[in-house]
Structure formats: structure tokens, C-alpha cells
């Protein structure tokens, strides 16, 4: 979304829930980070894991290679977590717990093309499954497809649903995953990040009252919200006031941004006549994210105590990402208010 300006007559945005993945959340089965962690287990650790299970894989050797080596090599080749492959073997054929599986279970261990001669054989089927999962992840189009009413929130979950196209199968995957690997990064969706208007970086800085000397109005709304406002400017030459929200991102990933637009009474202005009565129809936010800068414009005028989405962007961990709003709207100068309140970032996916 680099360099794109999106014009929107925004309405209120509902708040997506942020919660623990446990109990099972079909839209977020495991994180993308977990799916892609090919180094989560060494080959020796895979063998130790299999040796601790009673299933046939602990001693299985195919063409001179142990099952653990086949899993490890495919995890490395397709940059996929070996845990994903192990869990899939249990979900599809029960190979982690069955000491005497039927030949079909071993031949189509990951359930990749079951019954097909082209995918028959333990090593061949592990490769087929790993390659298929990698392809499904790499070609995932979030927001473009649902499965049994579930819209996957991240690429890993979408890949799992493309592989097993029903909720129960992915619930089974989740139950097996959390029984064997309960303390992985997949267990928690980060909580919402609220950036209070009290933490706004204002330019110019308000040094003393009356704040209108610096072009700002600060007040408290009827609902207790802390509001900052400034009269609009029609051109860059007239623009003087800018505010910056600087979220502290605990975990890199894609987040949806929401701006709170408060309902408010007539704003006080103690520094002379001012024509501004209503809010701007073109508040243009500049979002600095991993991939560059994006501008997103909304109409603040009709909004009353509403969260408005400004889009979804990928942010690195830390405080280098910002959301900026200035007094520049392009409308006739000093005829509109630009209002600033809290900002919220809601986790979308890794």
C-alpha cells in the first residue's frame, strides 16, 4: 500500500475481539511465525520426540533414512515447522500413537493425495504434504475465501483450511498441537494497543494556556474523552499544526488501525474570531509502516463517538512506526476543526 491515498466516507467500525487462541479459535489456529519456523526442532529433537511416543515412527526406516530424518529434511526444504508435519501425521493417520498402522496409513502419512500412486510411500507423501502446505501458505489470499463460515485471520490458518477444508479437522490439528507443544508463540493473539491522545506528540508543543496561542484546543468531552483539536488549513503554506501517535509495537505483524472520533460540543476558542463550527470532511492520516508511507482520508463531520478503521498495515516491533495527522485539509482555512483522540491497533496476523 505504499504511496496510496484512500478516500473514505467512514462510518463507525466494530471492534474485533482480541483473545487467547485457547479455547480453539478457528480463524487463528497457529501463527505464521510458528508455521514458518523450520528450525523449531533439530533432527535429533525430532527423533527424541518420536522415541517418546508409542507410534511406529520411532523405529521406521525407509530406504536407509529414519522417519525423523525424512521429516527434518522436508521441513528444511520447504521452510516449514517440523512440528506442523508431525501434527499432520497424527491428525491424518494417527502415526504418533499407533504402533501397528495399516499400510495405507504409512503410505499416505500426511493424507496428501490418499490412494494416488503418485503420492504413495511414506517419504513421498511427507514431501507431497510439506510442498502442498508451503504452496497453500505462499499463495494465500486473506479475505478472499472462507471455509464453513470461517474467514482465516492469517496465512497459516488459511493454508491449514485449504489442506483440510472443514472446521473439525483443524480443531483436531489444534488439539494435537497444543497437547504436544502447549507453550509455543501460537498460543496468544497480542492485545489491542491503545495510543491515548494524552500521549500525542504535538507540534508546536503546548507550553502554557491559553493553548490557542499555539493553534490547539484541548478539552474533555461529555463522555470523559480527552480531545485535541485545531482549525484547518487550506494549503501547505498555511499549515502549522501536526500531531503524531507513536504506538509501542510488542510483536511484529499486521495490525488494523482505528481512530476514535469523539462527539463534542462547540469548541472554545479564546483567541479571536473563528469560523470553524463543524469537523473536517478530509482528515488525512499518514501511516508509517514497514513498507513505507500510506495516506488515508476520512470524513470526521458525521461521526459521533465512533471507531473508524484506517486500514491494515504491517508494523515492525518497537516505536519507529507512527500515525500522523495535520491541520491540512484543503478546505477553506479556519472553517473546520480537525479533531484528535485515541488511536487503537488491533492484531490481524503475523
Interatomic CA distance for residues 270 and 63, integer angstroms: 86
Interatomic CA distance for residues 152 and 347, integer angstroms: 13
- Count the Cβ atoms, other than its own, within 10 Å of residue 130: 26
Helix (H, G, I), strand (E, B) or coil at 49: helix
> Is the preceding omega at residue 23 within 30 degrees of 0, hence cis?
yes
Pick the closest to residue 250 from 185, 329, 296 (CA basis): 185
Please enumerate in sequence order all residues whose Cβ is within 8 A of that of 139, keeping only pairs 6 or more positions apart, or say none.
none
- State pTM to two decimals: 0.52
Would you call 254 exposed, middle or buried from its count of C-beta atoms within 10 A (0-12, 13-18, 19+)? buried
Pick the closest to residue 29 from 175, 204, 142 (CA basis): 175
User: Which pLDDT tens digit goes with each residue over 22-51?
Assistant: 467 888 888 888 899 899 999 999 999 999
Instruction: Using the structure block, give the residue that is written with the C-alpha cell 487467547.
Output: 20
Domains, the chain? 5-16+191-349 (2.60.120.260), 32-187 (1.10.530)
Describe the crossing of helices 155-163 and 167-180 by its angle, rounded to 10 degrees: 120
User: Which pLDDT tens digit goes with each residue over 98-108?
Assistant: 999 999 999 99
Helix (H) or strand (E) holding 131: helix 122-138
Please enumerate in sequence order all residues whose Cβ is within 8 A of that of 281, keeping only pairs 6 or more positions apart, or say none.
299, 300, 301, 329, 331, 336
Q: What does each of the 350 residues of the chain score in pLDDT, given as a tens digit?
A: 233 333 333 333 332 332 233 467 888 888 888 899 899 999 999 999 999 999 999 999 999 999 999 999 999 999 999 999 999 999 999 999 999 999 999 999 999 988 899 999 999 999 999 999 999 999 877 777 788 888 887 889 999 999 999 999 999 999 999 899 876 644 456 778 899 999 999 999 987 767 788 999 988 887 777 899 999 999 999 999 999 999 988 778 899 999 999 999 899 888 888 889 899 999 999 999 998 999 999 999 999 999 999 999 999 888 899 999 999 999 999 999 999 999 999 988 76
- Count the Cβ atoms, other than its own, within 10 Å of residue 34: 20
Helix (H, G, I), strand (E, B) or coil at 164: coil
Amino acid at each position: 500500500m505504499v504511496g496510496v491515498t484512500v478516500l473514505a466516507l467512514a462510518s463507525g467500525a466494530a471492534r474485533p475481539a482480541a483473545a487467547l487462541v485457547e479455547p480453539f479459535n478457528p480463524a487463528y489456529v497457529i501463527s505464521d511465525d510458528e508455521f514458518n519456523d523450520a528450525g523449531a526442532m533439530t533432527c535429533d529433537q525430532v527423533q527424541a520426540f518420536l522415541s517418546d511416543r508409542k507410534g511406529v515412527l520411532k523405529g521406521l526406516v525407509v530406504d536407509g533414512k529414519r522417519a525423523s530424518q525424512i521429516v527434518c529434511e522436508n521441513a528444511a526444504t520447504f521452510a516449514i515447522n517440523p512440528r506442523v508435519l508431525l501434527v499432520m501425521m497424527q491428525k491424518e493417520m494417527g502415526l504418533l500413537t499407533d504402533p501397528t498402522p495399516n499400510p495405507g496409513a504409512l503410505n499416505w502419512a500426511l493424507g496428501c493425495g490418499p490412494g494416488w500412486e503418485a503420492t504413495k510411500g511414506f517419504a513421498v507423501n511427507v514431501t507431497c504434504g510439506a510442498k502442498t502446505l508451503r504452496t497453500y501458505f505462499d499463495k494465500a489470499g486473506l479475505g478472499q475465501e472462507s471455509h464453513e463460515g470461517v474467514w482465516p485471520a492469517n496465512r497459516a490458518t488459511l493454508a491449514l483450511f485449504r489442506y483440510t477444508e472443514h472446521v473439525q479437522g483443524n480443531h483436531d490439528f489444534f488439539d494435537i498441537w497444543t497437547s504436544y507443544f502447549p507453550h509455543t508463540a501460537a498460543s496468544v493473539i497480542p492485545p489491542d494497543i491503545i495510543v491515548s491522545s494524552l500521549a500525542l506528540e504535538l507540534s508546536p508543543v503546548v507550553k502554557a494556556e491559553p493553548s490557542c496561542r499555539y493553534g490547539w484546543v484541548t478539552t474533555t468531552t461529555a463522555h470523559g474523552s480527552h480531545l485535541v483539536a485545531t482549525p484547518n488549513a487550506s494549503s501547505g503554506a498555511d499549515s502549522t499544526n501536526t500531531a503524531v501517535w507513536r504506538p509501542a509495537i510488542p510483536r511484529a505483524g499486521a495490525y488494523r488501525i482505528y481512530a476514535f472520533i469523539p462527539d463534542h460540543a462547540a469548541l472554545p476558542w479564546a483567541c479571536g474570531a473563528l469560523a470553524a463550527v463543524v469537523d473536517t470532511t478530509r482528515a488525512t492520516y499518514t501511516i508509517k509502516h514497514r513498507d513505507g508511507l500510506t495516506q488515508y482520508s476520512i470524513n470526521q463531520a458525521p461521526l459521533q463517538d465512533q471507531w473508524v478503521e484506517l486500514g491494515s498495515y504491517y508494523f515492525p516491533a518497537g516505536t519507529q512506526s507512527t500515525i500522523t495527522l495535520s491541520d491540512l485539509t484543503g478546505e477553506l482555512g479556519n472553517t473546520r476543526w480537525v479533531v484528535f483522540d485515541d488511536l487503537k491497533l488491533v492484531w490481524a496476523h503475523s
